[in-house]
Structure 1
Amino acid sequence: MPETDLELLISAAQAAGDIATRYNGQSAKTWHKPDDAGPVTEADLAVNEMLEDTLRKARPDYGWLSEESQDNMDRQQTDKVFIIDPIDGTRSFIEGSDTWAHALAVVEKGVVTAAVIYLPRREKLYSAAQGGGAQLNGARVGTASRDEMEGARVLVARPAMAPELWKDTPPEFDRGYRPSLAYRTALVAQGRFDAMLTLRPTWEWDVAAGDLILREAGAATSDRHGAPLRFNNPDPRLAGVVAANPILKHKICAALAPTDKAQ
């Protein structure tokens, strides 16, 4: 019997972890992408090559969008597309940290239908299929219920708390941070934090998997303006991301200034 998309993503993510953990991030060959787009290592490229070969052979009619592959607009002609970040948190990987992740998603007509975020060094595998709930290592997870901004535990970079980005005084969040956007989404889905937000233009591959895992855990997600997240866009960048339980998410979006200045 053919494996489901989620089963395929879980198997591929575990294989990605096997490859990535063979490398020592501090000694892996590293290059810097053009236009100050960040570093990439030989591990990123090895994982990407395996994932593209494995996933596209298994689903040859699906499109492909990955941080480490040349974008091809043929993906716009397919109903379903893989959206992949081979290693999310490459800087953490290079530093020898364990907070980097593999982020894999299947998107159908703009909506994520299967997703995996895997942190092999932490032995954490978050997963979700549309309508099936969100899981961490096979156990159901759910988002936190706090609905007040003051004192909420929020994963957010310091620049996003600049006063000009908020209508009034920035909320007094209990602020946390993780380098990997995928891991931030997973921690909110797990209920470890109440919310996460990023106000910078955000690459789809950083948050596609987390979008479904969050929603299946009971969270609401949107861009910084409150619009639903849609994926496989011609320009694969979103206007930031805000995620929390529905009440808290609405309050955060309502408190943000209607500005195009992104942090």
Structure 2
Amino acid sequence: MREVDDLSLLVGAAHEAGDIARRYFRRDPKVWDKPGSAGPVSEADLEVDAMLHDRLIGARPDYGWLSEETPDSQARLGTDRLFIVDPIDGTRAFIEGDPSWSHSLAVVRGGEVSAAVVYIPVSGKLYAAARGQGATLNDAPVAVSGQTELTGAAVLGTRANFEPWHWAEADVPEVRRKFRSSLAYRMSLVAEGRYDAMLSLRATWEWDVAAGALIVTEAGGRVSDRRGAALRFNNAMPQVNGVVAAGPVLHEELGRRLV
């Protein structure tokens, strides 16, 4: 099965990415700001990006390529399959010495994710999924939590997601709000069942969430944009309209409460 073969490729590439990134972590890597207030980037991001491109495209030369750290090419829009990667998701955390950064790698076919890996090198946690094959953490199956009530749920998201204007009648839910720098890691923690939901209620780059979307779905959860629409990837502008991920019942409740 092609999805399983692609997943094996992603797993090997993620481990190699971790080997590179760990050499720089907490060792004062060179850092600079990207143009247009697009945030910081480090020499580790670029070395990981170059390795991933060489390894993945070398193995699948007919696949397209979309990465946070590679100039975008519209040629990817004409490909049936493509890689969507974030070499280091949570670069600010990486630079600051916070261990909650990840490598996020996905294969997309026809706008849907077919294979995905999110790897957290510092803790050695590797989340993986292939379409129709379930989701795993270090090869053990994972499943989303059974939480059905939004009140009291553990929800990953920034403070901005809980401003009153995002919620019907300004009724902000009473949740246990948590945070991790990497969006891909937040989604994986929902898939693992350690947290009940995650929210990102602004335009979100595809490379931040493509891998996590499949991992949550294969763990039995639901993922949508902030309006409840299914996520589609390989868009001309590679963004989605926010992300909501949770178990099915809690996801439905979030859909009723968000505006």
Shorter-chain TM-score tier:
over 0.9
1:24 CA drift (Å): 3.3
1:34 CA drift (Å): 1.2
Question: Structure 1, residues 10-66: CA drift from partner, whole Å, max 9, x if none?
Answer: 000000001111113451000101121110000000000000001001000000000
Aligned-partner SS, 1:22: helix
- The root-mean-square deviation of aligned C-alpha atoms, in Å, is 1.2
Question: Is residue 51 of structure 2 the alignment partner of residue 50 of structure 1?
Answer: yes
- Aligned-pair identity in percent equals 56
Whether the 8 Å contact between 1:64 and 1:75 is mirrored in structure 2 is yes
Question: Is residue 218 of structure 2 the alignment partner of residue 207 of structure 1?
Answer: no
Question: Is residue 151 of structure 2 the alignment partner of residue 140 of structure 1?
Answer: no
Letter in 2 for 1:226: G
- 2:113 matched residue in structure 1: 112
Aligned-partner SS, 2:210: helix
Once the two structures are superposed, the pairs formed by residues 1-263 of structure 1 within 5 Å of their partners are: 4-25=5-26, 27-168=28-169, 169-257=171-259
Task: Tell which deviates more after alignment, 60-69 or 27-36.
Answer: 27-36
Whether the 8 Å contact between 1:135 and 1:141 is mirrored in structure 2 is yes
TM-score w.r.t. the length of structure 1 is 0.96
Letter in 2 for 1:181: L
Q: Distance in 1 between matches of 2:205 and 2:248?
A: 23
Letter in 1 for 2:64: G
TM-score w.r.t. the length of structure 2 is 0.97
Instruction: Show structure 1 runs of 5+ residues with no match.
Output: 258-263
Displacement over 6 Å in runs of 4+: none
Q: Distance in 2 between matches of 1:253 and 1:229?
A: 15
1:177 CA drift (Å): 0.7
Paired positions, count: 257
Letter in 1 for 2:25: N
Whether the 8 Å contact between 1:149 and 1:172 is mirrored in structure 2 is yes
